[in-house]
Structure formats: structure tokens, C-alpha cells
């Protein structure tokens, strides 16, 4: 529970920083470059709002995903995941799955 709590709360606190930074670079920056180099308006809008907007949608999620993978790697390095897979092996065998399939759950 604490792993999810910290990943969501700390990552959520960092999310506005990533949102503003990626918006400034990938939307406003591309729009400024398009106007500066005299690109057609349709191309500038496509690059800034289309591609830049898509990148800006994904990048604010990086802190939460990164923290989640950090905590998962700490659990893996401590040996907890291997022990959890061993303990759950019998239950997972009843479902026709190996014990390691418990880890993604």
C-alpha cells in the first residue's frame, strides 16, 4: 500500500511541474519555431497541437510511472518478489498458472 501511496502522491506533486515544462517545450516552443521559420499555419498547428499535445499528454505521467518502477525494483532487489512468488505458487497452480504470475497482480 505504501508503495502505491508514495508513487501516486509524490508523483502527483511532481506532475504539474512536468505538465508546465512539457507544455512550454512541446507546444509553445514548437509553435514559436513554426512562426519564426515561417511554416504554414496548418503545419504549425499540426506540429504544436497534434504531436506536441500528444507528447504533453504522456510526459506528466512520467513521475508516477518512474516512482512505481523504482519501488518495484527495490522490492525485486530485496528478494520480496521471489518469496511472494514462491508462497503463491500453490494457489496459482490451482488456477493453472505458475507462481511468478502473481507478481503482475
For residue range 10-61, list pLDDT tens digits in order.
999 999 999 999 999 999 999 999 999 999 999 999 999 999 999 999 999 9
Of all residues in the chain, what percent carry a pLDDT higher than 90? Answer: 67
- Give domain status of residue 95, yes or no: no
In a domain, 67, yes or no: yes
Decide if 43 is inside a domain: yes
Mean of the pLDDT values across residues 58-80?
92
**Would 90 be classed as within a structural domain?**
no
Residue 31 lies in domain: 2-77
Q: Does 42 map to a domain?
A: yes
Q: Return mean pLDDT, the chain.
A: 91
CA atoms within 13 A on the CB side of 91: 8
- Helical segments of the chain, H only: 2-23, 30-36, 41-45, 52-58, 62-78, 80-87, 89-94
User: What was the pLDDT predicted at 87?
Assistant: 86
Query: Total domain count for the chain?
Result: 1
pLDDT, residue 105, reads 60
What is this structure's pTM?
Answer: 0.74
Amino acid at each position: 500500500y505504501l508503495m502505491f501511496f508514495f508513487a501516486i502522491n509524490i508523483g502527483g506533486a511532481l506532475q504539474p511541474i512536468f505538465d508546465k515544462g512539457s507544455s512550454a517545450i512541446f507546444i509553445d516552443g514548437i509553435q514559436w519555431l513554426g512562426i519564426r521559420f515561417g511554416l504554414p499555419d496548418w503545419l504549425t498547428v499540426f506540429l504544436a497541437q497534434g504531436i506536441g499535445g500528444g507528447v504533453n499528454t504522456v510526459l506528466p505521467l512520467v513521475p508516477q510511472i518512474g516512482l512505481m518502477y523504482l519501488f518495484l525494483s527495490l522490492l525485486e532487489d530485496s528478494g520480496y518478489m521471489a518469496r511472494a512468488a514462491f508462497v503463491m505458487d500453490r494457489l496459482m497452480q490451482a488456477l493453472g498458472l505458475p507462481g511468478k504470475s502473481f507478481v503482475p497482480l
